[in-house]
A and B are shown apart, each in its own frame.
Chain A
Amino acid sequence: MSIVRIDQFAPSTAVGDGVTGSLLFTRELLRELGYKSDIYSHDIPAPLRGEVLPLSAFRDDPGTVLLYHHSMGHDHGAWLLARRCPKVIVYHNITPAQFFPADSALRRYALLGRQQLAEWRQAFIAAIAVSPLNQRELQEAGYSDTVTIPLLVDSRRLEGDCAAPHFIERSQQHTYYLCVGRLAENKRQYLLIEALYHLLQLQGSDDPQHPMLLLVGGVTSEDYARGLVHHVEQLGLQQHVLLPGKCSDAELRWLYRNSHQYWCASAHEGFCMPLIEAQHAGLPVIACAQSNIPDTVGEGGLLLQGDNPLAIALAAQLLNESHTLREQLQAASMHNLQRFDREHLKRQLGQWLEHLTQGLAWRAMA
C-alpha cells in the first residue's frame, strides 16, 4: 500500500493547547513532505473551525493513514477503533492520576487514558512518542514499534510580536523570575514561592531590583490555586509574587525576553514546552530533574536533584553572581534547540514515514 493521505485525530482541540499546536505543526510538516493531510476532532472551538474538520468529514479511503493523538482518556474510542485504515498513535503523555483531586473528572479521565493506552495497543501499527519519557511509557504499555519525534515545537512560532502584560509595572525596576504553566498540583509552584522566600533572605530585603516571582497560567485546580495565594500570604510575599492568570502569546514572549531566570519545580512533565520557549528567548533555566525535564533541558539549564526550594534559591543566586555561567547556559540552550530545529524534525518524520511505508508493504505481501 502506498500512503496518499496522513490525517490526524484528537478527541478535542483548543486554542493555545499543546496537543492542538502539535496537530497543526505535524500537518504542516506532512504537507511539506508531499502528503495530503487534515485534522479531525469531535470538539472544535469556533476559532479553529476550518482548520480542524468534524469527524463526519473523515473519509476512510485506501491509502489513508490516521495519526491519533493521545493525551487523556475520552469517550470517542468507539469511533476511533471503527476506522479501517492503518492507525498510528502519537503519545503526548498523561499526567498521573495522583496529581488530580480524588473523585474529580480529571482524575477519572487520567486513569481511563492509561487504561485505553494499554487496551488499544493492538489497534495501532506503530507509535510515535513526543519525548523519550513517553517512549518508555509506550514500551511499558506493550507497544513494540516506537520512535521518539518531538512533534511539538515549531521553531518558527517562537518568533513574533511582544506586548508587555498589563500587570507589569513599568515605573518600577523589577527582577522577574518566571514560571509558566497551569496552576495544578503536579506543577508544585509552592516550591518556587518558598525558593523566592529563601532568595530574599539570602539577598537581603533592600535589594533595589525588587525580585518578583511570576506564576503565569490558568487555574486547573481551584483549591490548589487558593492554597498558593494562602501560602504567599503566610510567607509575607504579597509584594513579591504575582499570579496573573493566562497570558496571550505576545505577552508570554515579552515575559520570556524580559525576565531574569526561568524556574520549574514540576513533578511531572511529558515534555514541558515552556522550557524550550525560555531557552529560545535566552532565559537561563533552573529546574528540578523530574520525569522528562532533563531530556527537554539538555545541556541548557541547571538541573537540581531532589526538590529543595533552598537549592533552587542558591542556584538562582549563583546565576545572579556569575555572568560567565549565565552565558554558558545561554550558549548551551542554543545548542539544545538544534534538536528541535524544524528542518531536522521534518527529516526525522520523513525517514520514519519511509519506514512505515515499507512496513505496510510487507504487511500487504504477508
Chain B
Amino acid sequence: MLIPNNPNIDFDELNRRIESEVQRYQQGGERPLPAFNPNPPLPAAKAYGWAALTQLDGQSLVTAAFPSLLGREAQPEEHAQWLARLNAGMDKFEFLATLRYSAEGKRRGVPVHGLRRARLRSAIRNTPLFGALLNNLYGWLKTDARHRYYMARFDLHTRQLDQHLKALSTSEASLLGILASARETIDAQQAMITQLQSTTAQLQERLNQQDVLNQAMQDKQALSTKVQQELRGRLAYLESQRGERQAPGAIDEPAPQPASVIPDGFYLAFENRFRGDGDTIRQRLSYYLPLIDTVAPLAAGLPLVDIGCGRGEWLGLLPDGIQRIGIDLNGLNVQACHEQGLQAELADGLAWLRQQPDGSLAAVTAFHVIEHLSFEQLHTLLDQCLRVLAPGGLIIFETPNPENLVSAATHFHTDPTHIHPLPPALSEFLLEYRGFENVQIHRLNPIPAQYALIEDSEVARRCNALFYGPQDYAVTAWKAQP
C-alpha cells in the first residue's frame, strides 16, 4: 500500500484502486512465481568454438573443454583431476591437446590449431616409464640454446638502455635550460601582473567611491523630487482653502471640478512612500498586456478607460494605436499624465462613467480602486461598466489579496482610505452575478521566495501559503457577445 507523503495527492483513492486491482489480478489465477535464488549453480557446460575456448581458464576451461572437444560433460572425478593439474601449473594448451588427441577426441575430430608443440609434449609426457625422463632430457638439451638466447636478449636490452640514458641526459640538460629561461619569463610576468593588480585595485577603489557618490546624488535627487511634488500639493490645497474663505457666497456658481475631501498632496506623498516607484509599478502592470491584445473592440478603435489612473503608469504602458483615457480625483496625478502627453480627466470615475453612452468603451481598468468603494458604489461601478462596455469588452480590477494574512492584517490598513478587503471569491461572485462572462482570478505579486520558509514540512508549506503568498489579485471579466 502507498504511504501518504504528499497532502496534494489523494492516497485513499489510490490505495482503494490498488486494492481492487490486486483482488482482480489474484482472481485471475496467476501461477506463483519461482523463488529468487541468490546463489544459483554455475551455468551448464556447453560447447564453445575454438577461439572462445582458448580464452577460458581454470574451472570454466575444464567445464567447457569436454563438451567442446569430446561432445560430453566431464565426469566429476575427471573434472577434479584436470582442475588439480591445471592449478598445479600445467599448461592449458597441453591439457587441450591431451583431450583433442585422445582416442575419443580423434573420433570427434573437432578442428583446432596451434596445438602441435603442446601435442608433442603431451605425447612425450604420456609415454610409459620413459615419459618423465624424456621430458627432463628434452629440457636439459634445450638449456644451452635457451641460455644463449636469453644472454643475447640481455645484451640487446642493455645497449638499448644505455642509448636511452644518454638521450635522456641530453634532454634533461636541454630541458633545464628551457626551464631556467621559462622561470625568468614567469618572474618578469609575475612582476607585471602584481603591478597591474595594484593599479586595478586602485582604480576599483576609485570606481567604488564614485559609485557611492553617484548613489548618494541619485537618492538626494529622488528625495528632492518627492518633496517638490508634496510641496506643490500642499500649496494647491492652501490656495483652494484661501479661495473658499475669500468667496463664501459663490455657492450658485457651478463647481469647477469634483474634489476629494483628502488633499491631493496628501495622497501623492502617501503613494510616494508606500506604493513603489514607477518602474516597479510598470513591471507589475505589464502582466496584463497579453490580455489587452485579445480585446476586439480596442482594435476597432474604442477607448480603454483607466479609473484611478494615478501617474499614468498603465496608460503609458499600453501599445501604440490604442485609444486611452485616464480618470483620477487627484489633480496632481492628472497633471502628471498631461505632462507625459496622456489624455486624463479630473473627475469622479463613477460620475464619468454615467455620462458615457452605451457600448462606447472597449475596456475599463481600475488598479487598487475597488477597495476604496462602498458596497453600493461597487455595485454602481459594475452596472455602469456593463452598460458602457461594447460586446467583447474587458474589465480588469486589481486589489490587495486578503488571502495573504499579512496583507489583510497590516498592509491593507496602511491606506486610511481603504474601506474593507475584498476576498477573491466575493469579487468573482459579484462579477458573475452582474452578468459578466469568463470571470477569472489572477493571484499576483507573491513575497519573493528568499523571504519564505524552506518548505521541508507541511507546517512550512501552509505558513508560506498564508503569510508569503500573493499580495494582490486581479479579477478580469468580459462582456458577452450578443
A: which residues have CB within 8 A of B?
185, 190, 194, 197-198, 201-202, 223-224, 226-227, 230-231, 234-235, 289, 294, 297-306, 310-311, 314-315, 317-318, 325, 328-329, 332, 335, 338-339, 344
In the assembled complex, the Cα of A163 lies from the Cα of B290 at a distance in Å of: 39
Contact A314 B21 (CB under 8 A): yes
- Tell whether A304 pairs with B2 under 8 Å between CB atoms, given A185-B38, A224-B38, A315-B18: yes
In the assembled complex, the Cα of A332 lies from the Cα of B458 at a distance in Å of: 12
Give the top 4 A-B pairs by smallest Cβ distance, nearest first: A190-B36, A299-B6, A230-B40, A303-B3
In the assembled complex, the Cα of A226 lies from the Cα of B36 at a distance in Å of: 11
Known: A198-B25, A300-B6. 18 other contacts (CB 8 A): A223-B38, A227-B37, A227-B38, A227-B40, A230-B40, A231-B36, A234-B34, A294-B3, A303-B5, A304-B2, A310-B25, A311-B1, A311-B22, A314-B25, A329-B6, A332-B8, A338-B456, A339-B456
In the assembled complex, the Cα of A329 lies from the Cα of B18 at a distance in Å of: 18
In the assembled complex, the Cα of A235 lies from the Cα of B36 at a distance in Å of: 10
In the assembled complex, the Cα of A252 lies from the Cα of B43 at a distance in Å of: 31
Mark interface residues in B1-16 (1 if CB within 8 Å of A CB, else 0): 1110110110000100
Total residue contacts A-B, CB cutoff 8 A: 84
In the assembled complex, the Cα of A227 lies from the Cα of B39 at a distance in Å of: 6
Which residues in A have their C-beta under 8 angstroms from that of B6? 299-300, 328-329, 332
Size category of the B interface is: 20 to 34
Which residues in B have their C-beta under 8 angstroms from that of A194? 33, 36
Instruction: Indicate whether B455 reaches chain A with its CB closer than 8 angstroms.
Output: yes
Instruction: Indicate whether B162 reaches chain A with its CB closer than 8 angstroms.
Output: no
In the assembled complex, the Cα of A134 lies from the Cα of B455 at a distance in Å of: 22
Which residues in A have their C-beta under 8 angstroms from that of B34? 231, 234-235
Secondary structure dominating the interface of B? loop
- Tell whether A315 pairs with B2 under 8 Å between CB atoms, given A223-B38, A230-B40, A344-B454: yes
Q: Which of B5, B14, B21 contacts A294 (CB 8 A)?
A: B5
Which residues in B have their C-beta under 8 angstroms from that of A332? 6, 8
Which residues in B have their C-beta under 8 angstroms from that of A299? 5-6
Instruction: Indicate whether B253 reaches chain A with its CB closer than 8 angstroms.
Output: no
Q: Which of B9, B28, B36, B40 contacts A328 (CB 8 A)?
A: B9
Q: List 10 A-B contacts (CB under 8 A).
A: A197-B33, A202-B21, A223-B38, A224-B39, A226-B43, A227-B36, A231-B36, A297-B5, A304-B1, A305-B1
In the assembled complex, the Cα of A255 lies from the Cα of B470 at a distance in Å of: 38
Mark interface residues in B24-48 (1 if CB within 8 Å of A CB, else 0): 0100101001101111101100000
Instruction: Indicate whether B153 reaches chain A with its CB closer than 8 angstroms.
Output: no
Residue of B nearest to A226 (CB): B40
Q: Output the least CB separation between B12 and chain A (Å).
A: 13
Which residues in B have their C-beta under 8 angstroms from that of A230? 37, 40
Contact A311 B9 (CB under 8 A): no
Q: Output the least CB separation between B14 and chain A (Å).
A: 6
In the assembled complex, the Cα of A305 lies from the Cα of B9 at a distance in Å of: 17
Q: Which of B3, B454, B455 contacts A304 (CB 8 A)?
A: B3
Which residues in A have their C-beta under 8 angstroms from that of B25? 198, 201-202, 310, 314
Contact B3 A305 (CB under 8 A): yes
Instruction: Indicate whether B17 reaches chain A with its CB closer than 8 angstroms.
Output: yes
Which residues in B have their C-beta under 8 angstroms from that of A197? 33
Contact B38 A303 (CB under 8 A): no
